């Protein structure tokens, strides 16, 4: 095939693929243009998850009427003029690709008016072609309307996630920028519903309350550190609040949202031994430094940066987070009451339980040196029925010891009870689940994206013994819970259910219900540290024996460890002695 120059239209669409990956990418580019223009108010309107409409309005400095058509041309920018400027960029945009890329895959309307201009100007670009250029009246500022995104590249539409996922991506993005720029008023409307409104009072904790709710915002720990020409600020969650993934770890460098594995590692290392394995903090960290210390021109979407002295930046972040954790969350001391409580009604101290479970999760068996006789390890148990077990007792207020015809069984009481409850729940599918009405209905406020998720799953919850209703905005009212959960805090139950939803998955309805019930059972199951009577121990083991999949909990964690007679004989040196 001969070499030839690509047509301008094809080249534009290729460039757009690097910049405009999904509707949230468009929102990000347009918001950053508004921020660079000095806007104090930014309003974003979304329809049909951004595929039908994305409209961003600001009160910034505006674009001169004579430069409006130039603004949508490729590589047209007011942010830099020479290659040397790339190493001291203080603005969010600089390549001059965003508007041109968006216009090449949508119908774009751009209206803008400068401060001293009597009239504004309006242009319309469709698929990269200018089709209108007229005078227009509007207040000082800029309005960008993007309609029919990807209308001329339908293959790109097929790669988008569900509408719920795309809407949550936009909500999460705007929330992060509202937190990074608390002095600016952000308003996000999704399908004519107000999802987020920050008041622009330069109070980050107030914005946190808008994003996460008042309760969590009050508990967040403030981070503040100045190390010569590096400043680290932000908020982190205390050790008692964590998530099962890293999605809520957010970094801004000089006002730019970045994704940097080194920064994330520095933050997580600051929590070392304080969080259980597989748990991650909530964090919004803002790093400020001289523009010459950071290279922002290393990623097509400007999502990554390169530091001149990366180790120094990572150390500053880690030190700032550690300082905040020590100041607000001193390390708990294990007193004699901790151990005495193991035989009392109070149960195990939560700090002891967290450290104990974290240590267990990190324990690994070291491989035997070559040439030595290897000790047989417990074999992977098949997922089938259990033999009849004789309960011997309880160890560490967390594990049951039982004897079977083929050896010894150590049973995790929490995981085992999860499995028992899960199968009981699933057997009730299609029937009326016993529920308990709350004496006083309780109200819960959720982050915008969590509220959107919960609203889509209300029917599922209500089928399984809950009665949760939308109470306006991001607020919900809990009226009933399954009878099995009547002794637990209903607000904690609902929050834990929402936290476990995965936005990027679109499972079948039956899978959604199974996931919800698994989370409910996790909350209702007996906990490690809870002392069981002999009758309760026997009842739990008998129930486990009747389960279809007794060897794992609903989340896939093993419920038991099997130590065969052969293994015990080898450990005690009895093999071959007869």
What pLDDT is stored for residue 341 in this prediction? 41
Closest CA to 437 of 414, 403, 401, 466: 466
Where on the phi/psi map is residue 302: left (φ > 0), alpha (ψ -120 to 50), or beta? left
Rounded CA-CA distance 194/521 in Å is 34
Rounded CA-CA distance 52/319 in Å is 45
DSSP 66-81: GGHHHHTSTT--SS-S
**Contact (CB, 8 A) for 180 and 257:** yes
What pLDDT is stored for residue 240 in this prediction? 83
E-strand spans in 325-382? none
In order of 55, 102, 247, the CA distances from 188 in angstroms are: 10, 20, 21
What pLDDT is stored for residue 372 in this prediction? 46
- Residues β-bridged to residue 469: 477
Strand 249-253 and strand 256-258: pairing?
Answer: antiparallel
What pLDDT is stored for residue 513 in this prediction? 66
What pLDDT is stored for residue 429 in this prediction? 66
Specify the DSSP element, H or E, that contains 360: helix 350-362
What pLDDT is stored for residue 477 in this prediction? 92
Burial 249-278 (b: 16+ CB within 10 A, else e): bbbbbbbbbbebeebbebbbebbeebbbee
What pLDDT is stored for residue 80 in this prediction? 57
If you search the block for the tokens 């100007």, which residue do you land on?
121
pLDDT of the chain along its 578 residues, tens only?
A: 677 665 666 555 555 556 788 999 999 999 999 999 999 999 999 999 999 999 999 999 999 998 899 888 877 766 555 556 556 666 776 666 888 889 999 999 999 999 889 899 999 999 889 999 999 988 999 999 999 999 988 888 888 888 888 998 999 999 999 999 999 999 999 999 899 999 999 999 999 988 888 888 999 999 999 988 899 999 999 988 888 788 899 999 999 899 888 999 999 999 987 887 778 999 999 999 998 888 877 666 567 788 989 999 999 999 999 999 988 755 444 444 444 443 443 344 454 445 444 444 443 334 444 444 444 444 444 445 678 889 999 998 899 999 988 889 999 999 999 888 888 877 776 677 778 888 888 888 888 778 887 887 788 788 778 889 988 878 899 998 887 777 777 887 787 777 665 444 444 445 566 767 777 777 778 888 888 999 999 999 999 998 888 888 887 788 999 888 888 888 888 765 44
The percent helix, strand, coil of the chain (3-state, each to 5) is 40, 25, 40
Please give the backbone phi and psi of residue 304, each rounded to the nearest 5 degrees, phi first: -125, 155
What pLDDT is stored for residue 13 in this prediction? 56
- Dihedral sign for Cα atoms in the order 61, 67, 72, 77: negative
Where on the phi/psi map is residue 200: left (φ > 0), alpha (ψ -120 to 50), or beta? left
The greatest distance separating any two alpha carbons of the chain, rounded to the nearest whole angstrom, comes to: 105
If you search the block for the tokens 């290279």, which residue do you land on?
295
Rounded CA-CA distance 174/88 in Å is 26
Domains of the chain: 8-200 (3.30.565.10), 220-328 (3.30.230.10), 390-563 (3.30.1540.20)
What pLDDT is stored for residue 361 in this prediction? 46
Helices in 43-137 by DSSP H: which ranges?
Answer: 68-71, 98-104
């Amino acid at each position: 095939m001969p070499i030839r120059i690509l047509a301008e239209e094809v080249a534009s669409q290729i460039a757009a693929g690097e910049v405009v990956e999904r509707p949230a990418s468009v929102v990000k580019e347009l918001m950053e243009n508004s921020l660079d223009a000095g806007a104090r108010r930014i309003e974003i309107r979304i329809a049909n998850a951004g595929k039908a409409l994305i409209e961003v309005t600001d009160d910034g400095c505006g674009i001169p009427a004579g430069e409006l058509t130039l603004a949508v041309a490729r590589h047209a920018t007011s942010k830099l003029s020479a290659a040397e400027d790339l190493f001291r960029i203080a603005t969010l945009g600089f390549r001059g690709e965003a508007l041109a890329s968006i216009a090449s895959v949508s119908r774009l309307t751009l209206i803008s008016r400068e401060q001293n201009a009597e009239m504004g100007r309006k242009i319309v670009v469709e698929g990269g072609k200018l089709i209108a250029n007229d005078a227009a009246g509007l207040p000082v500022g800029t309005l960008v309307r993007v309609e029919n995104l990807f209308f001329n590249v339908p293959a790109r539409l097929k790669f988008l996630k569900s509408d719920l996922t795309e809407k949550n991506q936009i909500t999460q993005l705007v929330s992060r920028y509202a937190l990074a720029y608390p002095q600016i008023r952000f308003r996000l409307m999704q399908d004519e519903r107000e999802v987020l409104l920050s008041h622009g009072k330069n109070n980050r904790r107030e914005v946190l309350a808008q994003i996460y709710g008042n309760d969590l915002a009050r508990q967040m720990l403030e981070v503040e550190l100045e190390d010569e020409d590096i400043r680290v600020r932000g908020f982190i969650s205390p050790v008692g609040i964590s998530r099962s993934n890293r999605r809520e770890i957010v970094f801004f460098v000089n006002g730019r949202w970045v994704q940097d594995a080194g920064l994330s590692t520095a933050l997580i290392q600051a929590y070392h031994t304080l969080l259980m394995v597989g748990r991650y903090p909530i964090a919004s960290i803002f790093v400020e430094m001289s523009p010459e210390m950071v290279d922002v021109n290393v990623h097509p979407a400007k999502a990554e940066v390169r530091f001149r002295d990366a180790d120094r930046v990572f150390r500053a972040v880690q030190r700032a987070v550690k300082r905040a954790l020590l100041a607000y969350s001193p390390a708990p001391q294990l007193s004699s009451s901790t151990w005495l409580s193991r035989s009392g009604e109070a149960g195990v101290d939560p700090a002891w339980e967290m450290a104990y479970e974290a240590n267990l999760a990190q324990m690994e068996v070291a491989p035997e040196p070559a040439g030595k006789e290897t000790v047989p390890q417990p074999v992977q148990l098949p997922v089938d029925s259990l033999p009849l077990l004789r309960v011997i007792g309880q160890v560490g207020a967390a594990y049951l010891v039982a004897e079977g015809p083929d050896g010894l069984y150590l049973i995790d009481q929490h995981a085992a009870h999860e499995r028992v409850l899960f199968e009981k729940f699933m057997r009730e599918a299609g029937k009326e689940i016993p529920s308990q009405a709350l004496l006083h209905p309780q109200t819960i406020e959720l982050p915008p994206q969590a509220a959107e998720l919960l609203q889509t799953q209300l029917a599922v919850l209500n089928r399984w013994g809950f009665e949760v209703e939308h109470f306006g905005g991001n607020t919900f009212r809990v009226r009933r819970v399954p009878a099995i959960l009547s002794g637990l805090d209903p607000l904690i139950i609902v929050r834990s259910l929402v936290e476990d939803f995965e936005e990027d998955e679109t499972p079948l309805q039956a899978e959604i219900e199974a996931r919800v019930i698994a989370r409910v059972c996790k909350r209702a199951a007996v906990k490690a540290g809870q002392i069981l009577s002999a009758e309760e121990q026997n009842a739990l083991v008998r129930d486990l024996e009747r389960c279809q999949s007794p060897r794992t909990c609903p989340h896939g964690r093993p419920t038991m460890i099997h130590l065969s007679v052969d293994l015990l004989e080898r450990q005690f040196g009895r093999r071959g002695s007869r």
